[in-house]
Structure 1
Amino acid sequence: MFRITRRAAAIAAAALLLPVSVQALPVATADPAPGGARITNIEKVNDRWDKVTVYSPAMNKEIVNDVHKAPGAGAPTFYLLPGIDGGDNLDPGGSWAPGSKSWFGMTDIAGFFANKNVNVVSPLGGQFSWYTNWVNDPGKQYQTYMTQELPPLINAQYKANGRNAVGGLSSTGGTAVDYAVQAPGVYRAVGSYSGLLNPADNPSQVSMTLMGGGVSADNMWGPGGGPLWIAHDPSKNVEKLRGVAIYAAASATGDVGEVDRLPQNFGGNFSGGFIERIVAESTRVFADNAAAAGIPVTYVVRPNGSHTWGLFESEMQESWNTTIGPALGG
């Protein structure tokens, strides 16, 4: 579950993964964030694209983050979480460079945000972490990283205005929404792109996904369906999202469509379609619970799309135009 087929990903990446050269830059940053998080290196890919390495005290390791810089100071910041693979190719026989099966490698970040005054930041790594805090793995404390350590550093380094939004795809779609539950005020807008928004009701699906990486979901939030699962379930915490701009989308059918950007005569993306139907039902449950509580959600049911990067990119762009951009003043 929540895996993109190698063939589909390769096709989607073919026109986007171009060789780039990077130039290490001297690091002249503002003071470290509270707790000792700090920028340790910046590599310049081009005039608008930096690769920023951050030391995370919570996990005692360095994390590389792609940053598409706003054209001017005083801009908001839009964070995009990677999928279950952390931006790397997990399928055997693939030839992607590390970190290239990611938002900056698989979608046209530079083109879409070229004329938009916003910093776009996407962390790399964190395979099979759900991008949350694990109770039994100190090396997986990504909620702390994304809500406490990284944003202050980005705000200082790029002279951002402190208005933040976050979106996630597939396994991290629900996590992006959960950040607004767990850390009120950090993210004023959230987006779920074909994400699982009721994990407490689907512990077996989460467990199977994490088993693909050889890890146990019990080490994440404890036994499936327990108190921590409920605490991290957006569908069961909609009241805590009051005042947050929310976008949630999925394809109801899971059928292959033009949005997937697959070649003609590709056929059915059966595994992707199966996953998409699961997350579509999950998204519906979340939207229904939010509506019952009077929480506004931009809820979009796509007519087709089979859990591919083409679908995720289209959902992300739509979220910016309808929900996230307006919430950030973009």
Structure 2
Amino acid sequence: MAFPRLCRDSRGTVRRAMLFALLMLICSGSPAVAEPPAMRPAHGRAVELTVFSPAMGASVSVIVLPRPDPSRPAPVLYLLNGIDGGTAGDGWTDRTDVDRFFADRQVTVVVPVGGAGSYFTDWRADDPVLGRPRWTTFLTRELPPIIDATFGGTGANAIAGVSMTGTSVFQLAMAAPGLYKAIGSYSGCVRTSDPAGQAMVATIVTAEGGTVANMWGPPGDPAWAANDPYVHADRLRGTTIYVAAGNGQAGPLDQPHSTGIDGNPAKMADQLAIGGMLEAISDRCTRSLRDRFAELGVPATFDLRPSGTHSWGYWQHDLHNSWPLFESVLR
């Protein structure tokens, strides 16, 4: 490739001199103007962006609920879906009232679609099934400038996630200090590098067809501890934190006609059995994290619900309950 040679050598004809000047701009690292993302209407007031990620070498679908008053800039709330990445209609915009809840709130809501089983982190190796996950790079470096430029962002951001991504929000905050003023973790399990945490992570990644060694290496690799928010909880000091979990016992949203069950006995049984077991695990993880933060003197708000399973109805309530805290630091 001739760029380096031309960047070093300015001699030649006028035409070459002009070319040299142009290439000097490239070599000096002058930022290129990003091509605007493809955009189309989705449902309600939502729009769907197709954003190309150079890091992943692929396009990512992103659902955006724009700020209600386009004449004024607004902060941005990123919401991460769970284990399947929201690709099966099982995500924030399908299973909760985010459109209505934020309709009159001056904030832009951004929901990436995809990332199933990826923990929304940068993997060390490509995966035969999951491709080239570089979600940390996408969510901290590639996507935010596009969102701010397209939707009038103020530069103030918050991020929240459920289940698997209840871990990811902490990891992303550690990877990009100051990018997110607030994080919300709903029914997550943050500790990832102890034997129980490694087993949990491996189960989630494998459930979506991925090979966990492609993410952080084999068990015991230093990358596991490096990506463990429990181990590095002190690095979260200064970030506004909201953590919520139930205890796995049937609660008010685990009834036959609750949203998501809708009178279906099979869904009811799944929510009580599988959802109850998963939430009981989340409860233990959340109490352990609370103790860790207390030990280090890191301020955080914990909502340990007296009941409730691992399900969207509770996560919708968690978002509602945490929003006033988020809003207070996004102004």
| Normalised TM-score (structure 1) | 0.82
Is 1:76 aligned with 2:86?
Answer: no
Q: CA deviation at 1:225?
A: 4.3
Distance 2:203 2:278 in 1: 12
Distance 1:200 1:176 in 2: 16
The secondary structure found in structure 2 opposite 1:204 is: helix
Q: Which residue of 2 aligns with 1:102?
A: 91
1:25-46 deviation per Cα after TM superposition (whole angstroms, max 9, x unaligned): xxxxxxxx96886543101236
Q: Which residue of 2 aligns with 1:85?
A: 84
Of 232, 244, 248 in structure 1, the residue corresponding to residue 227 of structure 2 is 232
AA aligned opposite 1:106 = R
AA aligned opposite 1:316 = L
Q: How does 1:186-197 map to 2 (within 5 A)?
A: 186-197=179-190
Q: Which residue of 2 aligns with 1:306?
A: 309
Q: CA deviation at 1:61?
A: 0.6
Q: Which consecutive unaligned segments of at least 5 residues does structure 2 have? A: 1-29
Is 1:131 aligned with 2:120?
Answer: yes
Q: Which residue of 2 aligns with 1:215?
A: 210
Is 1:275 aligned with 2:278?
Answer: yes
CA separation of 1:310/1:153 partners in 2, compared to 1, >3 Å: closer, same or farther?
same
Distance 2:58 2:44 in 1: 27
Distance 1:35 1:84 in 2: 35
AA aligned opposite 2:190 = L
Q: CA deviation at 1:159?
A: 0.9
Of 132-141 and 237-246, the range deviating more from structure 2? 132-141
Q: How does 1:1-330 map to 2 (within 5 A)?
A: 38-45=35-42, 48-72=45-69, 73-89=72-88, 100-137=89-126, 139-201=132-194, 202-252=197-247, 254-260=248-254, 261=258, 262-263=261-262, 266=268, 269-321=272-324, 323-329=325-331
Cα RMSD between the aligned structures? 2.0
1:65-113 deviation per Cα after TM superposition (whole angstroms, max 9, x unaligned): 1101111231100000111101123xxxxxxxxxx22111111111111
Q: CA deviation at 1:152?
A: 0.7
Identity over aligned residues, as a percent? 38
Q: CA deviation at 1:224?
A: 2.5
Of 130-139 and 71-80, the range deviating more from structure 2? 130-139
AA aligned opposite 1:295 = V
Distance 1:135 1:269 in 2: 37
Distance 1:38 1:169 in 2: 31
Q: CA deviation at 1:227?
A: 1.6
Q: CA deviation at 1:125?
A: 1.1
CA separation of 1:183/1:158 partners in 2, compared to 1, >3 Å: closer, same or farther?
same
| Normalised TM-score (structure 2) | 0.81
The secondary structure found in structure 2 opposite 1:300 is: strand
Q: Which consecutive unaligned segments of at least 5 residues does structure 1 have? A: 1-32, 90-99
Aligned residues: 285
The secondary structure found in structure 2 opposite 1:291 is: helix
